[in-house]
Structure 1
Amino acid sequence: MSTPDEEYEQSNLTRRGFLTLSAATSLLGLIPGVSYANIIHEMKGKVWINNITATSTTMIKPGDTVKTGENSRIIFVMGEDVYQLGSWSTLRLRGDEENSLVSTMRLLNGTLMSVFSKGERIIQPPTAAIGIRGTGIFIQVNPKGTYFCTCYGTTEITLRNNQWVQPVSSTHHQAYFITHNLDEPQISTDTLRGHQDQELFYLESLVGRKPPNNFK
């Protein structure tokens, strides 16, 4: 029997159509003939995969939960997507395990910066569903609410009560704050904080890309 969170996750995925993924597009990316393995690129402090202490050779795949401890960080590559998880963070990954394609991410707490190849993904903080398309993003979840920045690219924020859909197209950081009121979450614009341009350039470089030319 599905839990309310699982039913909400599935209904949003179906309603917004973000499960229609192209495996070929996600794997090929921008460099013909190149696809990147699922690897941990950097790791600092305490990191757990499915509650087991991670090592530099641990494989991360859809279905896994990645957690970090105090003063900890992990940067990992899956296909042509790059994830940087900060301290005290918990990230659940869902998708096609056979092809290692992530379609859905649930950030329970902490911070995540990611750069994505072409294709459609969805990330879920506690009171929203955010559609992502070939985008650089930064998200922070704390007890008061969710800070979400579309660093570049296109996203769509749907609040949990479905009463607000916010399409976002950004060339250089468009941020919002979403409250964690489960019955009536609110969204408001916010300012750039918690991340920097050079981090995005670095993450993109790990898969042979750069941010868009209009990112400035």
Structure 2
Amino acid sequence: MTSHTLQGLGEDEILWFQRRSVVSASAGWLAMGGMGGASAQGRSNVVDSAGDIALNGQRWMPGQSIQTGDDIATGPASRLVFVIGNAAFHVRQNSRLQVGRGSSLNAVSLLRLLTGAVVSVFGRGSARTIVTPTLTAGIRGTGVYTEVLPDQRSYFCNCYGTVELACAGERMTSVSQYHQAFWADPNANARQALKPAGAINHTDEELEFLAHLIDQRTAWELAGRKGVKDGKGTMNAAPGQLHPAFMPRR
């Protein structure tokens, strides 16, 4: 288990993938063919769930699938892990997430996170967008962690891949090999809406878990090594290396 830093969360919330029930559910999902098997057999695309979950304002019932166009809400001590197309998600407790439809029923074009947190892994494909009350992130194939804080600031980690970020008129390109993190604060001083952040509240292993559900591997698994989890996003830390939020703005 890699080291991790928590801010406002408990250990149990980020170690969900270690539960015996989750490991068993994941093994069953993969053994039955993953998303392709679920579609062919008419099974639910929910890999794991716990607690109180609402789907489009109604209580979610085991066996129901999550579709693009759905509105998801989780209660305290709740979680929802599901796959749509070539994308996998873990919606954490006390979250509200809207899933936007792309070119087909099984293509996610938009995640709108209103409250709480979501861990997401996307296979390569058409552009997708993650939106919070203070941040817009345009992505393609990547793994990311997004959290909306009670004060409405957003935390965003580009765990690997390329992401176009925008907050309060400020734009920035994030290219990450290993966890490049940002605070999005529209109330900050001019040209400082996007600030450097540390890598908090998520682990390598949960990204790997979600990636494996869609037959993908994370950037560090492909490289066979990891960098320094300091929020700068690189495999090879160097003296004086700056986070991109410290670079000249465009």
* TM class by smaller structure: 0.7 to 0.9
Selected match of 1:126 from 124, 133, 139: 133
Aligned equivalent of 1:193:
200
1:210 Cα offset (Å): 1.3
Q: Which stretch of structure 1 is more off in the superposition, 176-185 or 101-110?
A: 176-185
Q: Which has the higher strand share?
A: 1
Deviations 1:26-80 (A, max 9, x none): xxxxxxxx85346000001111110111122112111110110001100000011
Selected match of 1:91 from 80, 85, 97: 97
1:99 Cα offset (Å): 3.0
Aligned equivalent of 2:148:
141
Count of residue pairs brought into register by the alignment: 182
For residue 76 of structure 1, give the secondary structure of its aligned residue in structure 2.
Answer: strand
Selected match of 1:75 from 81, 86, 96: 81
Deviations 1:84-109 (A, max 9, x none): 00010000111137432110111001
Output the amino acid matched with 2:147.
Q
Task: Give 4+ residue runs of structure 1 displaced > 4 Å after superposition.
Answer: 182-185
Deviations 1:105-127 (A, max 9, x none): 11001010010011211000112
Structure 1 unaligned blocks of 5 or more: 1-33
User: CA separation of 1:35/1:71 partners in 2, compared to 1, >3 Å: closer, same or farther?
Assistant: closer
Output the amino acid matched with 1:123.
I
Decide whether the 8 Å contact of 2:67 with 2:106 is kept in 1: yes
User: CA separation of 1:98/1:135 partners in 2, compared to 1, >3 Å: closer, same or farther?
Assistant: closer
Q: How big is the alpha-carbon RMSD for the aligned residues of Structure 1 and Structure 2? A: 2.2
Selected match of 2:163 from 155, 159, 166: 155
Structure 2 unaligned blocks of 5 or more: 1-33, 227-250
Give the TM-score of the pair, scaled to structure 1. Answer: 0.78
User: CA separation of 1:51/1:155 partners in 2, compared to 1, >3 Å: closer, same or farther?
Assistant: same
Q: Percent identity between the aligned chains? A: 31
Decide whether the 8 Å contact of 1:45 with 1:73 is kept in 2: yes
Structure-to-structure mapping, 1:1-20, within 5 angstroms: none
1:149 Cα offset (Å): 0.1
Output the amino acid matched with 1:118.
R
Output the amino acid matched with 1:173.
H
Aligned equivalent of 1:178:
184
Output the amino acid matched with 1:191.
G
User: CA separation of 1:106/1:183 partners in 2, compared to 1, >3 Å: closer, same or farther?
Assistant: farther
Q: Which has the higher helix share?
A: 2
Decide whether the 8 Å contact of 1:126 with 1:180 is kept in 2: no
Give the whole-Å Cα distance in 2 for the aligned partners of 1:62 and 1:97: 10
